[in-house]
Amino acid sequence: MIKSQQFQIDAETKAFDREHRRKIRFNIGKYDAAVALGMNYFQNHELARDRGAYLKAQVLEKLDEYLLQFEAAFTARGGRVVWARDAAEALAEIGRLADARGARTVVKAKSMTTEEIHVNQYLAGKGIESVETDLGEYIVQLNGERPYHIVTPAMHLSKADINDIFVKHLGTESTDDAQQLVLTARHLLRDKYTAAEIGITGGNFLVAKEGGVAVTENEGNARLSATFPQLHIAVVGIEKVIPQLTDLDLFWPLLSTSGTGQQVTVYNTVYFGPRQPGEPDGPEEMVVILLDNGRTNLLAQPDKRAALRCIRCGACLNVCPVYKNIGGHTYETTYSGPIGSVISPHLSGLPEHMHLSYASSLCGACTSVCPVRIPLHNLLLLNRQQAVREGHAPAAERAAIGMWRWSMQHRWALNVLPGALKDWSLGRLLDQVGWSKRRAALAAAPQSFGELWKARAAN
């Protein structure tokens, strides 16, 4: 079954799953309330959005220069930079680094880029244990699932669901105490940090001038993953660059407030390379893998490259009426919701993922909350336009639209058709766009406008 058909089946299943919708609306509702309060931290939030959008747009115009600046500054402190054109090159480098250290255990902080290239599956194939240390990621990893949400991987699970997962996979005693569940995970993960040979993180921002990798989190697990192991690998998308360190005072609050309503997240760290002489802790070696994996496909399209401004706050997911009804797993992509529907066709292939650009009401809510002013609903329309222009639309749809276009250009043909044939043709056209599935059939008027006008003139 092709992905678009599977998407429609899964979307319908989730949309009519009342318990699923209850959990999502409850969890997103808590975020919405926190974000509304968090906006009060800004004296002028709209100005902050303008500045964030401007800076990210400026970087994208000179992305090559900023990336080279980052590399020069980072390597000057003993770090190493690897340029990966795709997932295969990134994974190959991770494999070489793991083999060189004889790694048997890897601890991972929450990272969408490592999800994108499927690091856990790759390491498992090499017989290496890869442990997610973010609580939400750890829960979905135990349950054999992908992250459900960019910010909150286990948003679709209730406290009772998590307890059942721990009982099933860890053999713990059943409890409804959330604190006890957290302590259970914490106890199990503590030993992993000290045993792991490699720690892998992502990076929320790449600081070009000073050569730093900025990581923001709420649990402290990224710091432990980057500090205890002797090797720290950061897998970061090439679009994550910002000009200099002082820009973090704009982007860190924009990210945290838009995502979770916090003034700033609990832990914010900038890694400038491996442990320096005189420093008491940190890794012996630090490698940054700069991941393209389709991003230059977007960069090469001036009308769509604004999507690369994304700072992965998740605000567009929380406000999207489609996401709130069908959930994250339905998208079958690393990045779900409006931003996922925009970028996935370019990162993973337009023919395979073009249907995601139609999973939108085009209400514009996503655009209205984006902290870096990405015109998401407009980009979804551009994706649709590109899919049609390149001939990826289904044959039946092309035939139906072609028939409609011809009939609109030759009104006389509609006038000579009998009413029953008009109704049949209209029904076939609406079937192609899903109108008739849950709506009553439409019928053509007994007389066309032209016929009514002639009758009026005759009188």
Residue 221 has pLDDT above 90, yes or no: yes
67: number of CA atoms within 13 Å, CB side?
Answer: 19
Residue 437 has pLDDT above 90, yes or no: no
What pLDDT is stored for residue 459 in this prediction?
76
Q: How confident is the model at residue 85 (pLDDT cuts 50, 70, 90)?
A: very high
Residue 421 has pLDDT above 90, yes or no: no
Rounded average pLDDT over 100-106: 96
> Who has greater pLDDT, 391 or 342?
342
> How far apart are the C-alpha atoms of 285 and 276, rounded to whole Å?
10
* Burial classification of residue 431, based on how many CB atoms lie within 10 Å of its CB (0-12 exposed, 13-18 middle, 19 or more buried): middle
* Dmax (CA) of the chain: 99
Predicted structure pTM score: 0.90
Residue 432 has pLDDT above 70, yes or no: no
Rounded average pLDDT over 173-186: 91
Q: Report the percentage of the chain scoring pLDDT > 70.
A: 99
Residue 440 has pLDDT above 90, yes or no: no
In the chain, where are the structural domains located? 42-293, 399-458
C-alpha distances (whole Å) from 205 to each of 11, 219, 235, 312, 371 are: 33, 18, 11, 11, 15
Per residue in 27-68, pLDDT tens? 999 999 999 999 999 999 999 999 999 999 999 999 999 999
What pLDDT is stored for residue 398 in this prediction?
82
Q: How confident is the model at residue 431 (pLDDT cuts 50, 70, 90)?
A: confident
Rounded average pLDDT over 314-330: 95
CATH code: domain 42-293 is 3.40.50.10420
Q: How confident is the model at residue 192 (pLDDT cuts 50, 70, 90)?
A: very high
Residue 125 has pLDDT above 70, yes or no: yes
Where are the extended beta strands (E) located within 160-301?
Answer: 198-201, 205-207, 212-217, 231-237, 241-242, 267-271, 285-291
The token duo for 62 is 């000179």
Mean pLDDT, the chain, rounded, equals 92
What pLDDT is stored for residue 1 in this prediction?
62
User: Which residue in the block uniquely carries the two structure tokens 């058709």?
Assistant: 417
Residue 342 has pLDDT above 80, yes or no: yes
